[in-house]
Amino acid sequence: MDVRLNPTWSSKLEGEFEKPYFTNLVDFVRTEYRQHMIYPPGKQVFRALDVCDFEDVRVVVLGQDPYHGPGQAHGLCFSVPEGIAVPPSLVNIYKELESDLGCSRPASGNLARWAEQGVLLLNATLTVRAHQAGSHQGKGWEEFTDAVIRILAEEREGIVFMLWGSYAQRKGRMIDRQRHLVLEAPHPSPLSAHRGFLGCRHFSRANTYLMEKGLPPINWCMD
């Protein structure tokens, strides 16, 4: 099956493209795009992988679904394009950045600058029907993104995995914590951020780990 993807990833994931689950997933997603409003736009479905070459990934932030409101989803978890209001979960991420690293809170919710530095902003499910959260769960995306995480965990060393919320933490079971740093906290949603996301200091902890490995830190501040 012909899947247009960053070549550094397509070579790693080509075995997934021929599996029955992926063939069924592609058929399902194509039908959904024809019959419904689906987010993100088709060309941005694999954007998280397109922006970060396999060898450049230093941090993985794992989300669940793309945003399902108009204009919000653009292929990077927790991120929205320029000019779109910052969603509540990202507001709390910015609050934690301010507390942890002294970053001023930006007006923009576009996290592309993180992705360009090797932060893989990966949703577990890469598409969603408009206004229907979870509508594309259980269709095969989870198996595909499991493969992404597994390949990174097995073939690379010294990656920071930020797993926020029980859903992300379940997907982290395949990560060897002797080879990578796994940081866990409640989800930054307003429903749970006060239970331990705020105050987790994941951003400074990630940078400390990267520098201990001889790698440059991430410039998390958006100003």
Three-state DSSP class for 85?
Answer: coil
Query: How far apart are alpha carbons 193 and 78 in whole angstroms?
Result: 14
Q: Please tell me which residue in 27, 53, 56, 65 is annotated as part of the active site.
A: 65
Q: What single letter denotes the amino acid at residue 116?
A: E
What is the dihedral sign for C-alpha 56, 110, 39, 137? Answer: positive
Q: Is 65 a catalytic residue?
A: yes
List alpha helices for the chain, DSSP H. 7-17, 20-35, 47-51, 88-101, 112-115, 141-155, 166-171, 202-212
CB-based contact 118:52 (threshold 8 Å): yes
- Catalytic residue numbers read 65
